Structure 1
Amino acid sequence: MVLEMESMATAIGVSVPVLRFLLCFVATIPVSFAWRFMPGPAAKHLYAAASGAFLSYLSFGATSNLLFIFPMTFGYTSMLLLRRYAGIFTFFAGFAYLVSCHVYYMSGDAWKDGGIDATGALMVLILKVISCAINYSDGLLNDESLTESQKKNRLVHRPTAIEYIGYCLCCGSHFAGPVYEMKEYLEWTEGEGIWSSPKGKSSPSPYRAMFRAIVQAAICMGIYLYLVPHFPLTRFNEPAYNQWGFWKRLFYQYMSGFTARWKYYFIWSISEASIIISGLGFSGWSDSFPPISLWHRAKNVDIFGVELATSAVQLPLVWNIQVSTWLRHYVV
């Protein structure tokens, strides 16, 4: 098995730890699909939590779940004991913990050495923990003092522990996002809100949207594998690079960045497929006739929007979309 992993990793030009992560990441699609068959909300919460923890263990090792315990515990404890200030405490404690973990693990060096750590997943998880605590604090406020997004996402009642853990680790969605709200997770699990199906009407089918996301992921990976041998980032450290003329270096800088972006497009496309097949990616119906199901909740990147952007101002709207939305709601 180890030899097979090594040969597969060599074939696509990555290390064994990165290959293990990619395999677990792709596995979030069938894992999320299986969520649909869990009998009842309690089983769904338990499955979401257990599957997420297991995938983390396979991807990053046992220490990854230990890494996640502190922010999850701090966030839930603050909601238990200090509801009014839970959002503030969790915000500062969560980001302080995230920064300290990035410094301690030196994520950039891990990638350079062919390794991988859980700090990327930790970032997504901390954003979810913070938003949950803030929304629970907002549950104490009057409507007049809340924005529309606060009214939409606030939590009047504290989630149970299993609901909270399921939300944080749901089927491996913390690997690369997208970030979503606790209220959305609860309504999705319990079949309420936009996920409630009137009698005699079936739920929207996710298969077409999921297939589109998988095809997009395959194309992105194909482009990346084709380009990366020609424009590796390691060439910047080679003496020959410094001997090139200005225009050749500028061209190489652009192409190496262009090449690297397709790796992220692949990751986010797989994540989108996973969230869509679970049903959580559903975002409502179009205004057309007949109405078409929309799946924008899972979308984390607009590839053409990024590549054809005419200004840096446009990039937050098309790159890492859900995190940008989170920042607009909770920071700006």
Structure 2
Amino acid sequence: MLTFLLKQACPTDNNIPTIPAYSVSFLFFHEQFHGKAAIAIPRGNLIGIEKSSSRKFPDFDFHIMGLDMEAMAASIGVSVPVLRFLLCFVATIPVSFLWRLVPGRLPKHLYSALSGALLSYLSFGFSSNLHFLVPMFLGYAAMLLYRPKCGIITFFLGFGYLIGCHVYYMSGDAWKEGGIDATGALMVLTLKVISCAMNYNDGLLKEEGLREAQKKYRLIKLPSLIEYFGYCLCCGSHFAGPVYEMKDYIEWTEGKGIWAQSGRGPPPSPFGAAFRAVAQAAICMAVYLYLVPHYPLSRFTDPIYQEWGFWKRLSYQYMSGFTARWKYYFIWSISEASIIISGLGFSGWTDSSPPKPRWDRAKNVDILRVELVKSSVELPLVWNIQVSTWLRHYVYERLVKKGTKPGFFQLLATQTVSAVWHGLYPGYIIFFVQSALMIAGSRVIYRWQQAVPQNMAVVKKAVGFMNFIYSVLVLNYSCVGFMVLSLHETLASYGSVYYIGTILPIVLILLGYIVPAKPSRPKDRKEQ
């Protein structure tokens, strides 16, 4: 099955371009990610990091466990790094299942750490994995030596090292050419290390001055080294995320909290939810394989694209963004299945009668809510969910002074951090600045909608529909920069539709000051 998908995903038609990865958020991935795992579509027969002009992470012998990786990769038309990563990434599902069979707290921590380290070695090689140890040791040293400031120290050291790797290896070029390296996994790992240090820092603070998330995840005592390594590398979950908290990891491993035996009995079986995630991954891959030959990114630089009319160019931008998202849906579905089958994906019970188990700890995307988004404000809640949650808890909320409300500065700063996390390519920076403008513009439309009296239902729905059209248009316009990466190609694609996705949010933001939404009358407000 995997061989068939790889053959279909990687044709050798020179007219089909590569598609850059996103995820932690990692990503096929990004959010970054999540990481940035990718099945890229090569321009030639076999393109990998070996043919990239960018520097590559040190590699290792392609003969792994008796397998001739070069021959296998050549037979299905992908690069060796991509094949190696995919095999290890899919292997996280059975590896996570086997965690359930390991007895005892300490053996479970050891299994988490060693299985993750082994998968990393098989995927990226020994030398590349030394990069993972740097932020891990920097974070632990900060917690051990200077707890009062360990959070902010780890934040800047972790991001500093990640940025250095982004700049030195220029991974975006390799991803666009069909290669992959360890920076995607490093992105996820960086977020996990920072959150652990910040939560340990919060353990010193008075509880009454903390936000709910800080109270929930604060660490009173320093995790042991084996707990820390198990958390960072757990069963290969650092490949593409999701990002989760140290406190949840420890409670899961020790069978405490929601994983403890309760009146409802033991934690529920994960197999049904894991199967649904795998089935979703298969559907997403099928959709992606069907669409991608019809909407190649190379079309943006094709003379025929410039001959099209405005509406056709705009619709092509929409379809390009729509197509690219399905590869992220695929990889996040696989990572979700891996976390669910281990049991860590369990997040409690619903309030329904009878109560049903919830498996959303590993959920990184809500496909329908992304594609049918009512407002851009909702996007961080339904796309790359766990990285968005991390950004909210560890950047956005911590920039808001006590007693004040967040504003555009906090939004822009958060989007900038997200952009830097992905890499320093102009396309990333432009995309996330665009995202901040997009969300701010959507908020203006939402305020106008809320100001419409309840008895004007048609007008209210019309304004809501306008927010939907605005969000879909600006989102798919903006994400072209995320896909093509270079400044020239980004500006050329934006300019081909007269920068409509940039001008429109700015106009809306200005109109929000000039024509502020009038509050509903008390009677209307009560009815709402």
C-alpha distance in structure 1 between counterparts of 2:81 and 2:104, whole Å: 35
* Worse-superposed segment, 58-67 or 187-196: 58-67
C-alpha distance in structure 2 between counterparts of 1:15 and 1:174, whole Å: 22
1:3 matched residue in structure 2 = 71
* Worse-superposed segment, 210-219 or 144-153: 144-153
C-alpha distance in structure 1 between counterparts of 2:93 and 2:84, whole Å: 15
Q: Which amino acid aligns with 1:139?
A: G
1:316 matched residue in structure 2 = 380
Q: Percent identity?
A: 73
Q: Which amino acid aligns with 2:85?
A: F
C-alpha distance in structure 1 between counterparts of 2:86 and 2:120, whole Å: 12
Q: Which amino acid aligns with 1:131?
A: S
C-alpha distance in structure 2 between counterparts of 1:314 and 1:135, whole Å: 26
Q: Which amino acid aligns with 2:286?
A: G
1:253 matched residue in structure 2 = 317
C-alpha distance in structure 2 between counterparts of 1:294 and 1:21, whole Å: 30
| Residue of 177, 190, 193 corresponding to 1:126 | 190
* Worse-superposed segment, 17-26 or 70-79: 17-26
| Residue of 105, 121, 129 corresponding to 2:169 | 105
Q: Which amino acid aligns with 1:290?
A: P
Q: Which amino acid aligns with 1:164?
A: Y
C-alpha distance in structure 2 between counterparts of 1:105 and 1:200, whole Å: 51
2:258 aligned counterpart, secondary structure? helix
| Residue of 122, 132, 149 corresponding to 2:213 | 149
C-alpha distance in structure 1 between counterparts of 2:287 and 2:266, whole Å: 38
Q: Which amino acid aligns with 1:87?
A: G
C-alpha distance in structure 2 between counterparts of 1:59 and 1:305, whole Å: 33
Q: Which amino acid aligns with 2:176?
A: K
Structure 2 length normalisation: TM-score?
0.61
C-alpha distance in structure 1 between counterparts of 2:128 and 2:324, whole Å: 26
Kept in 1: contact 2:280–2:330 (CA 8 A): yes
| Residue of 164, 187, 203 corresponding to 2:228 | 164
2:221 aligned counterpart, secondary structure? coil
| Residue of 29, 43, 48 corresponding to 2:112 | 48
* Worse-superposed segment, 307-316 or 186-195: 307-316
1:297 aligned counterpart, secondary structure? coil
Cα shift at 1:55? 1.1
C-alpha distance in structure 2 between counterparts of 1:144 and 1:73, whole Å: 31
Cα shift at 1:273? 0.3
2:129 aligned counterpart, secondary structure? helix
Cα shift at 1:292? 0.8
| Residue of 87, 96, 99 corresponding to 2:151 | 87
1:298 aligned counterpart, secondary structure? coil
C-alpha distance in structure 2 between counterparts of 1:21 and 1:189, whole Å: 27
Cα shift at 1:250? 1.9
1:284 matched residue in structure 2 = 348
2:273 matched residue in structure 1 = 209
C-alpha distance in structure 1 between counterparts of 2:84 and 2:312, whole Å: 36
Q: Between Structure 1 and Structure 2, how many residues are aligned?
A: 328
Q: 1:16 to 1:244 in 2, by over 3 A?
A: farther
Cα shift at 1:207? 0.7
Higher helix share: 1
2:361 corresponds to 1:293: no
C-alpha distance in structure 2 between counterparts of 1:189 and 1:105, whole Å: 36
Describe the superposition over 1:96-140 as per-residue Cα deviations: whole angstroms up to 9, x where unpaired: 111121111112101122111111111111111001001111111
Cα shift at 1:200? 8.7
Cα shift at 1:23? 1.8
1:198 matched residue in structure 2 = 262
1:34 matched residue in structure 2 = 98
Query: Which 5+ residue runs of structure 2 have no aligned equivalent?
Result: 1-67, 397-528
1:73 matched residue in structure 2 = 137
Q: Which amino acid aligns with 2:73?
A: M
* Worse-superposed segment, 260-269 or 247-256: 247-256
Q: Which amino acid aligns with 1:5?
A: A
2:124 corresponds to 1:60: yes
C-alpha distance in structure 1 between counterparts of 2:361 and 2:183, whole Å: 23
Kept in 1: contact 2:73–2:79 (CA 8 A): no
* Worse-superposed segment, 229-238 or 127-136: 229-238
Cα shift at 1:199? 7.7
C-alpha distance in structure 2 between counterparts of 1:150 and 1:199, whole Å: 28
1:137 matched residue in structure 2 = 201
2:393 matched residue in structure 1 = 329
Describe the superposition over 1:185-209 as per-residue Cα deviations: whole angstroms up to 9, x where unpaired: 0000000000001389232110111
Query: Which 5+ residue runs of structure 1 have no aligned equivalent?
Result: none
2:298 corresponds to 1:230: no
C-alpha distance in structure 2 between counterparts of 1:86 and 1:29, whole Å: 34
Q: Which amino acid aligns with 1:7?
A: S
Q: Where do residues 239-250 of structure 1 align in structure 2 (5 Å cutoff)?
A: 239-250=303-314
Bigger RCO (CA 8 Å, 6+ sep)? 1
Cα shift at 1:291? 1.3
CA RMSD of the aligned region, Å?
1.4
Cα shift at 1:64? 2.6
2:287 corresponds to 1:188: no
C-alpha distance in structure 2 between counterparts of 1:255 and 1:301, whole Å: 19
Cα shift at 1:15? 3.0
Q: Which amino acid aligns with 1:272?
A: E
Q: Which amino acid aligns with 2:141?
A: T
